[in-house]
Amino acid sequence: MNKIALWKTLLILFVMLIGFLYALPNIFGDDPALQVTREDGSPVLAATIEQAEEILNQNEINFNTIDFQGNALIIRLSNTDDQQAASALLRESLNQHVVALTLASRAPRVIQNLGFRPMSLGLDLRGGVYFLYQVDLASATQQYLDSYQASISQAFRSEGIPVNVQRNIDAIIFSFDSEEAIIQAEELLFLLDPLLDVTASQSAQGFQLNVALSNIQITQRQNIALQQNILTLRNRVNELGVAEPVVQRQGLDRILVQLPGIQDPSQAERILGSTATIEFRLVDFENDPFEADRTNRPPLNSILRYDRTGFPELLRREVIVSGSELTDATFMYSQGQPAVSIRLNAQGAARMLDATQANLNRPMAVLFIEDSPELVEVNGAIELISNRTETVINKATIRGVFSNSFQITGVTPFEGQDLALLLRSGSLATPIVKVEERTIGPSLGQDNIDRGRLAVVVGLITVMLFMILYYRAFGIIANLALISNVVLIVGTLSFLQASLTLPGIAGIVLTIGMAVDANVLIFERIREELRNGVTPLASIKAGFEKALSTIADANITTFIAAIVLFTFGTGPIKGFAITLAIGIATSMFTSILVSRLLVNLFFERKVRLQSLPIGIKV
């Protein structure tokens, strides 16, 4: 009567086997480890193992094993202190390599070779640094409007339209002498960009066009700036050598950065939040920089800047090459001095070649530009202000012709490493400022893991004891299904490699309590059928069939709530929603199918069954 089809039985067993295999690596735990990869993505050479072993042995740092994992080298250590010390040594010694803090599973090699990996742990369980940045979207809009001002003015000059230009915060104001000129200008603006918000007016001063960005353009530009900043931050995080980082948008104007394994936030903060670039300019050697500094009036075609010692320098306004035209920047030592090796794209190389050919034996300077944004209170409101510093870090006489490859000096080793990293990873589209920072140590992360594991175990044991005491033998069946559910949740998280966080653990604990709801509904329905005089086997069949719709309704509504939380939530809320949704799906499978299979296994052959051990007397 209650026999399940063979294909259903095989399907249930197959799903449980796959879930068990994916959950298995989590039993063995993890070792603190270092992941060593090459900057160019090519496989690590075998000689690197010998070099790493020699460095660690010379500094008396104990390590467990060093072996290959794909294109990377995995170094397992005994504790996090050795991990931090080994990381600092290897980053200094292994050139052209990225050394990242990570965790290495202790699972046997055969399990790892089959592709089974433990769950990915979130920042609150693994330890690391959490940053929340606010993006200056107003600056992005101003930059976009600046570019329009230059291009529109150039277009008017090309068409021979006389115009005067003024600028306010939100718009560009073009003034014309005649009505014919303003009509021609309007037609030209429509051809340039029909989305621009153009308003014509007439006053005593003449005819004017007020050109502003439309709401569509402002929204598009702000989204582009935010996406470019996210991409740049990801590049910088990769340069820092962090395994499994998180860089994602949060809300309208904020970016969340999580760096698991990083315990010193100072370097990460300095690199992530900096907007730095360089410019190559010719030095104005025809005028006196001290006179310009005294009068604060540099010549018309020059700008006044200062070197690190406060010495004034006059530089030509024309920029030969800027940081946007760099393709690579690498820190190195040249003749015993720290230097940054620069490579330019084709356009920058052509301009550098022309400049060096035309200016042999004349000085050229490297101007380092850095924006440091900060939140300040202005008239009772918090605004994002960007502080720009421009420093001459190098001045040298052009002794030869060069184009796409050269070196700059005049930097300290510390500055050179940071400058090379920032130039490689690209510039931020608009300044960002840190609004929140949290550092979670590895000991606190381990404490969170221990407490989370304890919560799961206590919750599981409590529910299992209740089910056994209340439903007797059927309670044991429900408990077996509950254990199967936990295995499937862990296996699914391992398969998806979704980061498990503290809220995620809360979702698992909640799911454990909810998972037996379906069994309770089924068992209570079986009890009701038995009270009505229905035979035990018929009661079992009726209990599973008649309770199904109620179980589905209750779980579907909760599943919808989990989807809403995942869609509109951020960070911890998403972690909770993921485990809740997975737990609902797996609990439906185990409570209905696995429980039915176990009940049939114990009772389907007892044709003359007179009663059921379900906690009541029939």
Calculate the alpha carbon distances from 530 to 23, 114, 607 in Å.
Answer: 39, 49, 16
Per-residue pLDDT for 177 more than 60? Answer: yes
pLDDT tens digit sequence for 46-88:
888 888 888 888 888 888 888 887 778 888 888 878 887 888 8
For the stretch 200-212, pLDDT in tens is 887 766 788 888 8
Return the higher-pLDDT residue of 426 and 556: 556
Handedness of CA 463, 465, 471, 477 (dihedral sign): positive
CA 196-202-204 angle, to 5 degrees, is: 140
* pLDDT cut 70: percent of the chain above it: 86
Name residue, tokens 């010549």: 299
* pLDDT tens profile 344-390: 877 788 888 888 888 888 888 888 877 666 666 666 666 656 677 88
Interval 567-607: pLDDT, tens: 877 667 877 888 889 989 998 888 888 888 888 887 766 65
| Residue 390 DSSP one-character state | E
Answer with the residue of higher pLDDT: 16 or 236.
16
The CATH code belonging to domain 30-105 is 3.30.70.260
CATH code of 6-24+441-603, in short, is 1.20.1640.10
Does 37 have pLDDT greater than 70? yes
Query: Which residue type is seen at 25?
Result: P
Residue with tokens 């989590």: 26
Q: Where are the domains of the chain?
A: 6-24+441-603, 30-105, 138-218, 277-425+432-438
The amino acid occupying position 586 is: T
Six-digit token pair at 269?
A: 């903060």
- The pLDDT of residue 270: 63
pLDDT band, residue 518 (cuts 50/70/90): confident
CATH number for the domain whose boundaries are 277-425+432-438: 3.30.1360.200
pLDDT, mean of residues 239-263: 75
Helix/strand/coil percent split, the chain, to 5? 50, 25, 20
* Cα radius of gyration (the chain): 34
Q: Answer whether 42's CB lies under 8 Å from 2's CB.
A: no
The answer to whether 524 and 596 are in contact (CB under 8 A) is no
What are residue 301's phi and psi, to 5 degrees?
A: -100, 20
CA pair distance 504, 527, nearest whole angstrom: 35
Between 262 and 311, residue with greater pLDDT? 311
**Higher confidence at residue 113 or residue 360?**
360
Contact 210, 201 (CB under 8 A): yes
Question: In the structure, what pLDDT confidence band is assigned to residue 618 with cuts at 50, 70 and 90?
Answer: very low
Please name the residue that has the structure tokens 């399907």.
Answer: 11
- Give the mean model confidence (pLDDT) for residues 424-450: 71
> How far is 527 from 448, CA to CA, in rounded Å?
42
Across 416-441, b (16+ Cβ under 10 Å) vs e yields bbbbbbbbbbbbbbbbbbbeeeebbe
Question: CATH number of the domain at 138-218, out of 2.40.160, 3.90.1070, 3.40.50, 1.10.1330?
Answer: 3.90.1070
**What digits encode the pLDDT tens for the residues 479-493?**
998 899 989 999 998
Mean pLDDT, rounded, for 100-105: 76
Q: Is the pLDDT of residue 420 over 80?
A: no
Closest to 408 measured CA to CA, from 488, 320, 337: 337
Return the pLDDT at 363. Answer: 87
pLDDT given at position 14: 92
Q: Tell whether the model's pLDDT for residue 331 goes beyond 70.
A: yes
